[in-house]
């Protein structure tokens, strides 16, 4: 049986690591996994997790999705000279009042989340088209389906990814290539720890009005509660990826957390959006009443 070749971005931790381990440990040996990461010095945890698995089921490659040459070099190192399943998982987060976000930081977010995803797909799409076969799976977010306060730039990047994937899905069905978005809510990974955000006591926030600072503080408390109450484990998200990979007729979207669907449904149902905005505001800010300045 010829193994399916899978390339995954962002495998140093979290969802990418969990998915790479699950596929590499497949008891049938059905997959050859190329686990990529920007900094291969961080591969130790991944290698520890696959200890005991077949040694020929996974290779680790250096790949920076913000560097076109890095992507092409990784592609050229694939022994099979093809990728059957491409998983675009690399991503970064950014929260905080929009007024304090620098242009440089905002560009970095867009470079990774939007252009990084596009660059990666560009590199492997011609081969899939030529073979008339392939799967493209992208780590989406509830922040790509609905706006979240203090996440304006992150949501913009994820909304853009949704548009890219929807557009490609229409075209690529004519090449027998399936595109799927795995829509995640809060996940217990290093994503939150690595999230770029100003803390409430940072000097940068002194440029922001007191009311916004109070709401931001409330939002941070809300985030902490959400991660305590609703966050999923990376292994659970990997299971949803596996569902999409194994499906003979994969869907465009897979939702990992049903607890977040009501607000998404409300947004789609609201004609002018005003009811959704009110409901989202109550959902985020009602649990901790921000003090008036």
Question: Annotated binding residues for substrate, as ranges?
Answer: 141
Which residues carry a binding-site annotation?
A: 10-38, 64, 141, 158
154, 254, 255, 276: which is the annotated catalytic residue? Answer: 154
Q: Are 62 and 74 in contact (CB under 8 A)?
A: yes
Which residues carry a binding-site annotation for NADP(+)?
A: 10-38, 64, 158
CA distances (Å), origin 213, targets 147, 195, 202, 224: 19, 18, 11, 17
Q: Would you call 154 a catalytic residue per the annotation?
A: yes
Cite the active site residues. Answer: 154
């Amino acid at each position: 049986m010829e193994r399916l070749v899978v390339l995954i971005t962002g495998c140093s931790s979290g969802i990418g690591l969990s998915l790479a381990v699950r596929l590499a440990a497949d008891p049938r040996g059905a997959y050859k996994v190329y686990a990529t990461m920007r900094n291969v010095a961080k591969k130790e945890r991944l290698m520890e997790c696959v200890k005991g698995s077949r040694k020929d089921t996974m290779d680790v490659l250096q790949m920076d999705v913000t560097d076109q040459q890095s992507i092409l070099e990784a592609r050229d190192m694939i022994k099979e000279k093809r990728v059957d399943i491409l998983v675009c998982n690399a991503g970064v987060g950014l929260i905080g009042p929009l007024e304090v976000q620098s242009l440089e930081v905002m560009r970095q977010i867009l470079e990774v989340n939007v252009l990084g995803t596009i660059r990666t797909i560009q590199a492997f799409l011609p081969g899939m088209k030529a073979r008339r076969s392939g799967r493209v799976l992208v780590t989406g977010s509830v922040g790509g389906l609905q706006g979240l306060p203090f996440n304006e730039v992150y949501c913009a990047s994820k909304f853009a990814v949704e548009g890219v994937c929807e557009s490609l899905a229409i075209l690529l069905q004519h090449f027998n290539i399936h595109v799927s978005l795995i829509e995640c809510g809060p996940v217990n990974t290093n994503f939150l720890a690595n999230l770029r955000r100003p803390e409430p006591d940072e000097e940068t926030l002194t440029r922001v009005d007191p009311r916004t600072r109070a709401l931001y503080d409330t939002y941070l408390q809300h985030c902490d509660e959400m991660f305590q109450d609703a966050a999923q484990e990376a292994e659970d998200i990997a299971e949803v990826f596996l569902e999409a990979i194994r499906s003979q007729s994969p869907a465009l979207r897979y939702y990992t957390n049903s607890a977040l669907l009501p607000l998404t449904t409300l947004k789609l149902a609201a004609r002018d959006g005003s009811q959704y905005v009110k409901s989202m505001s109550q959902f985020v800010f009602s649990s901790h009443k921000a003090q008036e300045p």
